[in-house]
Structure 1
């Protein structure tokens, strides 16, 4: 039996539905009709006008905006070409390496719309799921309000200022000023916008349904639910339906409407949610007037309980699970900050294929798209609120707004996500400056309490680097349960589960001082992957690690770089321009494995042997690898000009020795270092095939080959997705590969490429994983990097075939058809 009263228990998305269900309730639910407007949230993404740059009076109703650019959201102007240039990158950009040499500034959006199709009595609100950074919104010249955090949803009531019969003008000014982010943030309305058509009177509150699994026992799930109702009416009822994946109602309940309605439900034979088996139900919350549906909210949720303790670590529905996690920033590679459901799905699928089961959203609340993908596909998620509290890291970062706006950020992080089964912890900050001072500890207490008031079911955490601060003792009135009067540290005193950033050497040492702690590594270097894997195997109280980072991203340019420098030259400043992406991910910017990912496949048990070749370092030079980097290893045996020279070939394996063959002949063996699961051998280069055979206790456990390819001879285009419907929010990722005459990817190819698209689709991005590509990612021309490129297309809401053709000088065209 799992019960939150016996351990730190987490539930995400469990439904709370009343236990006592009478026949009348069943009848009312069966008869209930859909609302007069079938969609509570209507897409409001198309038909926008945009102008980049500052302006006065651009919110005016009478403004002539006929010359403004037409676009469909989401939109990020920072990844678009600068005015008058063919690149979004500027060597002199104010934020420099932090934002990958992209620029922010100011942009204006306008939209003309009518509402005469909706009943007059309806309340009409607008919901922005995210805009970076500072947003001001006007309707028909009236200022509705402002949002100052770039990663949270915000909404306004349009009703008082609407013209019910004529043209309405919505204007949005978005500003991304100064130095405000340590990574690429993008600029603009980068998430969807929804028009909410709501009842004019009593209605279900926004994010007002809170659901969690209370216990699992005897083949039954006991679930609790709390529902908030705005302007409740005594004659109304709050009804709840729980549907399985076939749409069958497996449980239901009904209660009188009130400002706060508490219900409970018992579900027999529940299908439980986990990252390995993400079973989802649909929770329907209905506000009823007799048999008429007044309001309806549906959401996916999973029934599960997660517990944490020092003896078993993290348990999901009673089963121990280790976190094999990765930190991710919010951008979607070549798309910039623009968020799409298909992009989030792809990211989660790529990570799951590489053995990841958890994501830390760094260092801001994740997009709804990513969270929903984690729920549906099975990925644990740590949501994070802040990169700074009261002390700034950058001159214009959120610390300037934190004292006045911290609470709305916490609410906007927790309330929309608290029913998501994927969410396992709430992080209140990352590497917070001055967190161990008296003021810092006070903020830690206030933030943790604010989270717990909204969701008492999940632990509060934070990413901590360096010293944890002085010993402290919390009093009975402020301490976490069971910790009153006991010694803790200033940085951890109000955290349920501390996260450690780059503190590998401190974890075991601090265990002796604080045996009560359950901890995890919230940021790790790829070079320590074996050490963390061994710690996970050995210690139940160590929950797992979150690599920095799982995937490459724009900005923090070159923090994972590997560069060759003259002997005696210090490395300072060696990773500035033209580096524009971080290059520290296991997976590159367009979705392919890098050398560190191959090594991780072995460490995490996905592979028995992987082989790479270290890029040759010329005499008089040395290789500098940053802390977040990895040696420059390639999956290639194309080394023209190196004939006869020794190349270092590396082997990753759980075996004890590796046999090395060159062109069919054995040239030697390499002994595996068990502490790093790695071996290497110097091989005089000769074109052909190098082969590795891994052994353990005399038995072959793996083979790998690398073969010298021929010259580029063809272009292969492959659409990743199986079907194409052409929907407005549908994306197609088209992989482009340069092949030799035998159909093998040429790993040194850097051919210039041109793409044409015919049919109802828009080319959103075209580029490669090259961390030093400073050209356009919106142009129909790019260059291959290590034999590969990627095109991303968006549907236009129309059916029809889409033809994609890619050309390069001296090669036959490659093509693929969608639909």
Structure 2
């Protein structure tokens, strides 16, 4: 309300609420008495809204609230706000419930950059990123590890994403020389309060995270700071739970959890310890706040050529030796690339299939946030310069899906999926590792130039080593032509996919996927 209003006479408050089709569903006019507290005039009113259309990732129903305040015929203030209405809770045994329905959180961690476009917020680039993730089946975003751009939250509201809104990557104890720890003492209270005040209006925000892999886990200062930060959040928003992304899975050693202030306990990686979490932290709701850290380059299949070395480890995860004892991994492919197969992970993580299996099979884990949804600038694990961006993404920096994208689409959506890899340009006679992700089919059959190479069924690993509940594979001697996979349901073909040997390039075609562009 205008600061120069000296009179505390009653004011007229008109409240209107419109639905998504801009139909007026509430119109109410009240005479209210302003209350002055510490120089600020406030008004309070409850407006009923009937036959509510609830907000969810599947149905992101939004209303528009419009409020105007007048006094003696003079307009004093106007306000407009998008509204989404939903209710939820976490259960220590059965995970997450949204609007009364158990909902698996199928999330990704997302860094705030757009590849070659840089780190400044770009509306159209953000829309494209979120569309790709939505089509993959993703329903949640963790803002790793800083508050997001306001425009991103607007899009998450309208496109349907749950958001873990994360504040800090460090507190008082530093991770790097010039990080936020230098400013934490003076700025953390104001920064956190500003974040909560700014973002609490968004229906997409369902969790506040006060930190990621905070080093105060390991000393008693973690108890004091956790209680302080949670109190700051709760003073401004008591409607949403507070979590932190932690690494210490032993209750006696985890001083952030020991504070007893967190509503939800988030744990990064450590999938082999999930079952012990329920014992170490009895009665606490749990979420896999960061998982996977697998490493892939889109379209690179050099290890698909099966030789003696690769054949022995082709069904195993190759952990890149990047850590305290060896800072960088060797440039194994000679061009700073890594395999596009789901075989390689950083030493603290695992491959995508293992990580999802661990969450999917445990209802008490509310869901997962994969590290990461999209490749980002920096952290080029496991290589040094000239590598300059990450390999973790399900989607690369150009916004092109890697093969693992279709694994998630086959698991996280009801869309029919059939995806074959790798490409079909090799040397005559080379033995090639061929993979297929699929769903909504009983089995798939592979053909090379019209000849059947046999059927495969997920979960049939005893018959065909390398097959599991998520993908099937064949070892195929290369010959030029067409590789075709056919999916069958109840004995009938339901879809097919072809991969052909490419010839000499004849032209380049550029297709723009949007007719409009907005940069803000």
Normalised by the shorter chain, which TM-score bucket?
A: 0.7 to 0.9
Within the candidate set 342, 350, 367, 1:544 is matched to 367
- Distance in 2 between residues matched to 1:470 and 1:401, nearest whole Å: 29
1:590 CA drift (Å): 1.7
**2:435–2:471 CA contact under 8 A, matched in 1:** yes
Superposition TM-score, scaled by structure 1 size: 0.52
1:556 CA drift (Å): 0.9
Structure 1 residues 300, 575: CA separation in 2 closer, same or farther (over 3 Å shift)? same
Q: Can you give the 5+ residue segments of structure 1 that lack an aligned partner in the other structure?
A: 1-197, 203-230, 473-487, 560-573, 614-635, 725-729, 732-793, 796-819
**1:436–1:468 CA contact under 8 A, matched in 2:** no
Equivalent residue of 1:715, what SS?
coil
Structure 1 residues 505, 695: CA separation in 2 closer, same or farther (over 3 Å shift)? farther
1:714 CA drift (Å): 2.0
2:33 corresponding residue in structure 1: 256
- Distance in 1 between residues matched to 2:7 and 2:178, nearest whole Å: 42
Within the candidate set 667, 670, 673, 2:453 is matched to 667
**1:436–1:490 CA contact under 8 A, matched in 2:** no
- Distance in 1 between residues matched to 2:27 and 2:146, nearest whole Å: 36
1:311 CA drift (Å): 5.1
Equivalent residue of 2:406, what SS?
helix
- Distance in 1 between residues matched to 2:274 and 2:27, nearest whole Å: 46
Structure 1 residues 261, 387: CA separation in 2 closer, same or farther (over 3 Å shift)? same
Superposition TM-score, scaled by structure 2 size: 0.79
In the TM superposition, 1:366-385 aligns within 5 A as 366-385=148-167
2:275 corresponding residue in structure 1: 508
**1:459–1:497 CA contact under 8 A, matched in 2:** yes
1:602 corresponding residue in structure 2: 410
**1:464–1:491 CA contact under 8 A, matched in 2:** no
In the TM superposition, 1:369-518 aligns within 5 A as 369-470=151-252, 490=257, 493-518=260-285
Equivalent residue of 2:46, what SS?
strand
Structure 1 residues 456, 708: CA separation in 2 closer, same or farther (over 3 Å shift)? same
- Distance in 1 between residues matched to 2:100 and 2:73, nearest whole Å: 41
- Distance in 2 between residues matched to 1:607 and 1:402, nearest whole Å: 48
Within the candidate set 397, 400, 406, 1:592 is matched to 400
**1:471–1:489 CA contact under 8 A, matched in 2:** no
Within the candidate set 222, 237, 244, 2:19 is matched to 244
Q: List, as ranges, runs of 4+ consecutive aligned residues in structure 1 with deviation greater than 6 Å.
A: none
**1:275–1:379 CA contact under 8 A, matched in 2:** yes
**2:93–2:285 CA contact under 8 A, matched in 1:** no
Structure 1 residues 696, 653: CA separation in 2 closer, same or farther (over 3 Å shift)? same
Q: Can you give the 5+ residue segments of structure 2 that lack an aligned partner in the other structure?
A: 36-40, 295-349, 461-467
Structure 1 residues 290, 510: CA separation in 2 closer, same or farther (over 3 Å shift)? same
Within the candidate set 103, 118, 128, 1:321 is matched to 103
- Distance in 2 between residues matched to 1:600 and 1:265, nearest whole Å: 42
- Distance in 2 between residues matched to 1:314 and 1:252, nearest whole Å: 36
1:409 CA drift (Å): 1.1
| Structure number having the greater strand percentage | 1
In the TM superposition, 1:213-252 aligns within 5 A as 233-245=8-20, 246-252=22-28
1:316 CA drift (Å): 1.9
**2:148–2:165 CA contact under 8 A, matched in 1:** yes
Per-residue CA distance 1:415-441 (angstroms, 9 max, x = gap): 111111100000000000122421111
- Distance in 2 between residues matched to 1:528 and 1:261, nearest whole Å: 54
- Distance in 1 between residues matched to 2:258 and 2:125, nearest whole Å: 36
| Structure number having the greater helix percentage | 2
- Distance in 2 between residues matched to 1:455 and 1:200, nearest whole Å: 25
Within the candidate set 414, 435, 447, 1:650 is matched to 435
Structure 1 residues 283, 717: CA separation in 2 closer, same or farther (over 3 Å shift)? same
Within the candidate set 691, 699, 706, 2:499 is matched to 706
Structure 1 residues 232, 301: CA separation in 2 closer, same or farther (over 3 Å shift)? farther
- Distance in 2 between residues matched to 1:456 and 1:383, nearest whole Å: 15
- Distance in 2 between residues matched to 1:707 and 1:281, nearest whole Å: 49
1:689 corresponding residue in structure 2: 482
- The yes-or-no answer on 1:637 pairing with 2:460 is no
**2:437–2:472 CA contact under 8 A, matched in 1:** yes
1:362 corresponding residue in structure 2: 144
1:591 CA drift (Å): 1.4
2:286 corresponding residue in structure 1: 519
- Distance in 1 between residues matched to 2:418 and 2:245, nearest whole Å: 33
- The yes-or-no answer on 1:716 pairing with 2:519 is no
1:271 CA drift (Å): 1.7
